[in-house]
């Protein structure tokens, strides 16, 4: 038979949300309830008849609760194959009763770590009996239902389970224990032992949604969030309105959010992204001023783009954004006026993130390659101390533009060249095979923007230019001179640094070295 009645249920949960209602429903179906410690107390307090696990095993809970369910009567009741005569005989010989349902959620290990507990408390929140029961029940899912997710309580509440349900529960159960063990292993490796790259890596993730398709319609895709949480990103954002987000939407929105987060403590800032590259970034006294400046940088690429802001959206800014087709807008929040404006754009996705991610946070970045993965730490380096290497010192305004351009360049695909002036990008050259072409493209974009806006000169005149890596030759720098830049920020470190510095001096430029590069592939 695939449908089996539940005659005895073992309930042992750390998070007791919903457990009383489930137990009451099972009791109404004539199910015998067996429980442990705090769970048994909660059920008794609710007026339910509960049998203690110690009554079942004949042994008391001992060693501060470390030993209570690790007993042959428990695991024999879970693992016995009910239609195997030898197993049935063993159960009868040793007085082992069958357990048909196990409801378990585990000690809050990750929450204990997150609250900054001492090592001894963290160790005590490593669950042993719980995962053991989960695995035993899941292995014997032909006869036993294992429920680890409160969302499944309603499925078993009427006292019967199907084989399909038990198989599904078993899969979820093993995923739960795998994620739990991964969290513990991660803590031992990274925190307790200080291992940055342990011999084995397991990444627990929780599926948030299956997506319509991947980068292209013939690919399939899904969104997963980190099981440990701790970061408010695109995966955790609340979608107020609009169509379902696609793979590309998520990827571009993440790029926009990561860049605007660099300015989370700065003035109102707007980032416009297309295909994971910023096409316009600006700060302003107000959000709408910042948007107008960012949009003016590249009005063509902004069409169908992704926008992220570092302030709650207001009505006037929303009206301006609504002037062209925009795929996604991400913001910490939005006022009623902004929401009303976007409500008229049924397909526009509005994402509210609450807090913005910390750009200096630690973490890992993972890229798949044929047969494996590359894992590296996040590029969380901020703007370092700058070293002036030219005869001319930069002005305060030039230094501010250098820092702004450098911050943006960190988020532009390599080879990256970014011109900036007055807290706004003037031209961006991204993803070219050589730096000279990126410099030419960025300058051309600035000229095109000036023509479209009716400006007398492009904003590269008097700008600062950032290069994500050193100039290997002076030609890239000379292209910036031709575009009108007066200041340069770059990592330095080329064997031809002297040649590049001499070219900068000859052109009257001010140039600073960072000693840090920002390749982004």
Q: How far is CA 434 from CA 354, 409, 417, 450, 511, in A?
A: 39, 15, 10, 25, 21
Extended strands (E) in 43-96: 51-52
Give 356's DSSP letter. P
Chain position carrying tokens 């305060």? 396
Token digits of residue 106: 């585990």
Rounded to 5°, the CA angle 380-234-250 comes to 105
Task: Sort 48 into a burial class: Cβ within 10 Å, 0-12 / 13-18 / 19+.
Answer: middle
Token digits of residue 42: 């909660």
Token digits of residue 303: 């069409």
458-479 CB burial, b ≥16 within 10 A, e <16? bbbbbbbbbbbbbbbbbebbbb
- Which residues have a Cβ under 8 Å from the Cβ of 170 and sit 6 or more positions away? 137, 138, 139, 141, 146
d(CA 122, CA 110): 9
419 sits in which H/E element: strand 417-420
- Coil, helix or strand at residue 161: strand
d(CA 426, CA 283): 12
The answer to whether 306 touches 294, Cβ cutoff 8 Å, is no
d(CA 448, CA 299): 10
- Coil, helix or strand at residue 245: coil
User: Of all residues in the chain, what percent are helix, strand and coil, respectively (each to 5)?
Assistant: 40, 20, 40
d(CA 273, CA 254): 10
Residues with a known catalytic role: 139, 275
Token digits of residue 94: 């040793």
d(CA 137, CA 69): 13
d(CA 207, CA 267): 35
- Which residues have a Cβ under 8 Å from the Cβ of 491 and sit 6 or more positions away? 467, 468, 469, 470, 513, 514, 515, 516, 517
């Amino acid at each position: 038979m695939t449908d089996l009645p539940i005659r005895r249920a073992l309930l042992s949960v750390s998070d007791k949300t919903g457990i009383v209602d489930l137990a009451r429903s099972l009791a109404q179906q004539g199910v015998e309830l067996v429980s442990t410690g705090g769970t048994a107390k909660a059920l008794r307090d609710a007026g339910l008849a509960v049998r203690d696990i110690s009554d079942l095993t004949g042994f008391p809970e001992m060693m501060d609760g470390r030993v209570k369910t690790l007993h042959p009567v428990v695991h024999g009741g879970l693992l016995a194959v009910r239609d195997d005569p030898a197993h049935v005989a063993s159960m009868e010989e040793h007085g082992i009763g069958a357990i048909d349902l196990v409801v378990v959620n585990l000690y809050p290990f990750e929450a204990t770590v997150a609250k900054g507990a001492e090592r001894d408390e963290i160790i005590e929140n490593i669950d042993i009996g719980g995962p053991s029961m989960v695995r035993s029940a899941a292995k014997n899912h032909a006869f036993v239902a294992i429920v680890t997710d409160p969302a499944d309580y309603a499925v078993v509440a009427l006292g019967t389970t199907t084989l399909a349900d038990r198989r599904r529960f078993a899969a979820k159960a093993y995923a739960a224990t795998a994620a739990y063990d991964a969290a513990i292993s991660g803590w031992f490796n990274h925190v307790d032992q200080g291992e940055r790259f342990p011999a084995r890596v397991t990444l627990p993730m929780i599926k948030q949604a299956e997506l319509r398709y991947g980068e292209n319609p013939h690919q399939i895709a899904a969104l997963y969030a980190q099981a440990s949480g701790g970061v408010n990103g695109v995966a955790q954002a609340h979608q107020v309105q609009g169509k379902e987000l696609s793979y590309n939407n998520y990827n571009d929105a993440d790029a926009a959010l990561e860049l605007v987060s660099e300015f989370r403590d700065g003035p109102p800032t707007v980032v416009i992204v297309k295909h994971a590259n910023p096409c316009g970034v600006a700060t302003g006294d107000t959000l709408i001023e910042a948007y107008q400046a960012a949009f003016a940088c590249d009005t063509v690429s902004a069409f169908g783009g992704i926008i992220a802001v570092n302030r709650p959206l207001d009505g006037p800014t929303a009206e301006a954004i609504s002037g062209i087709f925009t795929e996604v807008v991400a913001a910490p929040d939005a006022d009623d006026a902004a929401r009303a404006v976007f409500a008229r754009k049924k397909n526009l996705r509005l994402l509210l993130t609450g807090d913005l991610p910390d750009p200096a946070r630690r973490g890992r970045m993972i890229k798949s390659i044929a047969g494996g993965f590359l894992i590296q730490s996040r590029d969380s380096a901020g703007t370092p101390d700058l070293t002036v290497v030219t005869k001319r010192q930069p002005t305060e305004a030039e230094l501010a533009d250098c820092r702004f351009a450098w911050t943006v360049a960190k988020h532009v695909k390599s080879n990256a060249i970014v011109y900036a002036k007055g807290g706004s990008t003037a031209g961006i050259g991204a993803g070219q095979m050589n730096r000279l072409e990126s410099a030419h493209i960025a300058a051309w974009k600035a000229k095109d923007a000036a023509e479209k806006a009716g400006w007398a000169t492009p904003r590269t005149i008097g700008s600062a230019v950032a290069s994500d890596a050193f100039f290997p030759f002076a030609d890239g720098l000379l292209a910036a001179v031709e575009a009108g830049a007066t200041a340069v920020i770059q990592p330095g470190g080329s064997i031809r640094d002297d040649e590049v510095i001499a070219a900068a001096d000859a052109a009257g430029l001010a140039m600073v070295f960072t000693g840090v590069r920002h390749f982004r592939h």
